[in-house]
Structure 1
Amino acid sequence: MPDSPEKIGHNIGFVGTRFAGTDGVSLEASKWAAVLWRYQHVSYWFAGKLDTDPGVSMLVPHAYFGHPDIQWINDRVYGRTTRDPEVTRRIYAIADHLKRSLYEFVRKYNIEILCVQNASCIPMNVPLGVAIATFCAETGFPTIAHHHDFYWERDRFTVNAIGDILRMAFPCTVPCIQHVTINSEAQRALSHRRGTSSVLVPNVLDFESPPHAIDDYNADFRQSVGLEPDDVIFLQPTRVVPRKGIEHAIALIRALDNPKCKLVVSHESGDEGNDYLNMLQDLAQSQGVDMRYIPARIGEERGYNEHGQKLYLLSDAYAHADFITYPSLYEGFGNALIEAFYYRKPVLVNRYSIFVSDIEPKGFKVITMNGYMTRDVVQKVRAVIDDPEYREQMVEHNYELGKRFFSYAVLRRKLRALVTNVTGMEDL
């Protein structure tokens, strides 16, 4: 609680496996911290991989899901139904080390509220989840648990040897923890499976601040990636993993039958191997679709890559894009869709379940498909590309709705309630 009358805000301790790079959890955590900072709440960071200010951070290597000891555990608890006693011993030994580190983190920075980011719902680091659960059980520490993905949403965790631990810690439901979910489906599942309520806080963007436009730095983006000034850029702003359904974007370009339409894929294939990427490249080639795979040209900062090539931000790619493809089969929320609204770009959406339940009812004007490409979908895309006035009307409508439902103002209201529940004071 406040140290002195002059101290208005609180010390918030963000806890996770990683706060680095452009993954969804890191990005959303940084948005929460930005909103909290505006109201004098100071954020501190605890994780196994960090690119935050070292002066407000505690790096604990075993908190990272990529640590060899954590990978050793994961290799022995998934895809099987029993575990060796040595696996159990190591889980709890590492969890004890991480729990002691949490105690140290709280003492060192005088943390008043913990904000756990995805570490208590998806078991990529089992010992960290156990450490958080036991720390909260021992202390009753005011904790906000922000759940992006639950283990029951991922096939890779279906067969496991840690059912006892999952029920105890993923998530832990001791009374001091306030749960936050990012979509209504997850909210219902948490209530059904764990008998606990949660606050729904959607992922947001800063709609109050206009996006970056074409400027002196990014003006040569098209030329730099081998495109002509009059090419029609269809941007696929996602990682290359099977659930993104990128083959539908290729089918769309093929059906448009316009040599000026080019598909640009911005992100790498991630940690699921390159088989899907290789399939897409073969498919694009066989269909006569010009697909540009450019993750080596997209960075977290502007500058140059190891080959001396100019690096652009994802926002630079959005600035030049004419159309966004988002044919995902499944999404926990849909950050790239909200980005399309923010950057005022028309978008094709495959009607994944969270879109149907949480986004579509808001009234956004998008072109939708239902699992497969039809002639009607292709005609609607062609109409948007060919009619600038209709396109402008569509994207402005979506921007205004995005400001209403998925802006920082929404996040401020939600965080106000969460912090007030802990402090009894309206801090935001």
Structure 2
Amino acid sequence: MLHKKNNLFNICFISGKLGDVDGVSRETEKWISVLAGMGHGLYTVSGFYASEFTEVPYKQQLTIKDLSFSSPRQEYYENLVFPYLGENSTHLSEENLQLLQDELLEEGRKIAGVLYQFIQKNSIDMIIAENTNALPMTLLGAVAVNELVQTYKVAALFHHHDFWWERSRFCESHIEQLLNRIMPPRNISVEHVVTSSYAEHVLSSVKRVKPHIVPNCADFDHPPIKDNYNRQFREDFGFAEDDLLFVQPTRIVPRKRIEDSIRLMAQFSRKYSFLAHKIHFIITLHHSNEPDSPYLQNLISLAGSLDVHFHIITDRVYSCRTEKNGQRCYTNADVLINADLVTYLPAWEGFGNALLETIAARVPLVTTTYLIYKTDIRGSGIQPVEIRDRYDGQGNLIIDPSVLEEIYEVLTEEKIRNLRVGLSFKRAADEFGIHILKTRLASILDNYSDEIRASRRRLQISRQSYYV
């Protein structure tokens, strides 16, 4: 499926996982949908497909298990090179660390060879690397992608969602020189995309890489609506029609600051005690690959101590509607369309997928003024309930009493609620709609097209030489 006219290309996405409910997976699917709509040929390589991946034909998918975030090789290297993750990393001698790094590089190069064969077999013109060279969740993937660029001269677009220096567990390592070299690589023949002006500033000033900015986007042209399927959500989970469902539509990870959402619910229930019996706090998405098992138990204990009705429905929320064990399973959008309020109080986010999805579902939103919200989202004119990102001496979010009053207003005053969610929908649709993604991707590929075609010619010559 080799495109030869105009600026149409065969493009391969490479990621540690696809088909999941996390932000990177969902944004990747949006990119695939947009690029397919433009006429490009799409392929995927992933360490793991969390669900049936229908965005590209099955024959155009490849699984390389060693790229997975939870593969034995990934866990082996993580535990040895990141002191905060492994008990044995601090006991390695300098000589053994060098041997370990050499081993990592050699394994990554072997995977690069497998990727290169897939590229040649399918006449792929360029790759899009999804966070592989930004966050070391797939170390072998990072080495392999870098090898494709440096040695095989494959045209590449790096899509960075967040970076290793933003995560405390990765900020200290025994391979910092390697991370600085390949995460991300500085190569004049590749292009980089980030999701925010902050990330653009960091890469430009610190890494001397000039990236494009493509914000997270949502499909406001086809927003979620109530239908015969998701109308059954409340009944399936035993909620009454007049219950107040406060939803946390995120994964269970510490940086989401779910404990602050629980405390917010507790304070609201105390102030408006006549509503307390109706309020249910729901978390929709599963644990991540972050070391957060104690975190969930702490959340359960905190909710119990504060009398918050706490529901974890992660085993019934998937990237697509399905049925498990005779029970209906829902998407995050299905849950949101049934929510009365969404809490989204992160200390840090690469952008804010859950925020946009909430606005698209026309649900009242409570959010902190986290950094990217202040720099790239707030100026759009959306109207959530805001909580300033200020914390007390114990690290708890400071919640002003006026916030509780504002929440009560949007829950009880239909006219005010409709005005706020309607305005937020309009403003977000203008700034973060799929049309923005289409326009920016078209521009990036157009500007990069000469290098992509040069890569195509190099690959063709190599392929001809190989088969002679």
Pick closer, same or farther for the CA change 1:8–1:128 going to 2, 3 Å.
closer
Give the one of 140, 164, 169 matched to 1:156.
169
> What stretches of structure 1 of length at least 5 have no aligned partner?
none
State the one-letter code of the partner of 1:33: I
5 Å-filtered alignment, 1:287-366, equals: 287-306=306-325, 308-366=326-384
* CA deviation string 1:57-80 (max 9, x = no partner): 122222223221222111111115
2:240 aligns to what? 228
User: Does structure 1 residue 187 correspond to structure 2 residue 200?
Assistant: yes
| Matches of 1:218 and 1:20, distance apart in 2 | 21
5 Å-filtered alignment, 1:397-412, equals: 397-412=423-438
Pick closer, same or farther for the CA change 1:188–1:87 going to 2, 3 Å.
same
| Matches of 1:313 and 1:4, distance apart in 2 | 38
| SS of residue matched to 1:155 | coil
CA contact (8 A) 2:21 2:285 kept: no
| Matches of 1:341 and 1:49, distance apart in 2 | 30
| Matches of 2:3 and 2:310, distance apart in 1 | 57
User: Does structure 1 residue 74 correspond to structure 2 residue 82?
Assistant: no
CA contact (8 A) 1:144 1:418 kept: no
How far apart are 1:2 and its partner, in Å? 6.4
How far apart are 1:269 and its partner, in Å? 3.0
| Matches of 1:348 and 1:14, distance apart in 2 | 34
| SS of residue matched to 1:58 | strand
Give the one of 279, 282, 296 matched to 1:277.
296
State the one-letter code of the partner of 1:420: D
* CA deviation string 1:191-247 (max 9, x = no partner): 122111000000111111232x22222222112212111011111111122211222
| Matches of 2:73 and 2:308, distance apart in 1 | 44
2:212 aligns to what? 199
User: Does structure 1 residue 137 correspond to structure 2 residue 163?
Assistant: no
User: Does structure 1 residue 374 correspond to structure 2 residue 416?
Assistant: no
1:30 aligns to what? 29
| Matches of 2:146 and 2:319, distance apart in 1 | 33
1:11 aligns to what? 10
| Matches of 1:180 and 1:332, distance apart in 2 | 13
* CA deviation string 1:76-133 (max 9, x = no partner): 1111575524312321221111111121121011111211111011112223212222
Larger displacement relative to structure 2 (7-16 or 406-415): 7-16
How far apart are 1:8 and its partner, in Å? 6.5
| Matches of 2:42 and 2:230, distance apart in 1 | 32
User: Does structure 1 residue 103 correspond to structure 2 residue 116?
Assistant: yes
2:413 aligns to what? 387
| Matches of 1:382 and 1:4, distance apart in 2 | 59
| Matches of 1:282 and 1:141, distance apart in 2 | 51
| Matches of 1:90 and 1:139, distance apart in 2 | 20
How far apart are 1:264 and its partner, in Å? 1.4
Question: RMSD across aligned C-alpha pairs, in angstroms?
Answer: 2.0
Pick closer, same or farther for the CA change 1:148–1:293 going to 2, 3 Å.
same
TM-score by length of 1: 0.94
CA contact (8 A) 1:242 1:276 kept: yes
Give the one of 221, 229, 236 matched to 1:217.
229
| SS of residue matched to 2:251 | coil
| Matches of 1:74 and 1:255, distance apart in 2 | 40
2:455 aligns to what? none
User: Does structure 1 residue 173 correspond to structure 2 residue 192?
Assistant: no
- Count of residues in correspondence between the two structures: 423
1:252 aligns to what? 264
| SS of residue matched to 2:169 | helix
| SS of residue matched to 1:357 | helix
| Matches of 1:417 and 1:410, distance apart in 2 | 11
* CA deviation string 1:243-266 (max 9, x = no partner): 112222222222223222221111
| Matches of 2:312 and 2:17, distance apart in 1 | 26
How far apart are 1:4 and its partner, in Å? 4.7
1:88 aligns to what? 101
How far apart are 1:3 and its partner, in Å? 4.9
> What stretches of structure 2 of length at least 5 have no aligned partner?
84-88, 270-274, 389-396, 452-468
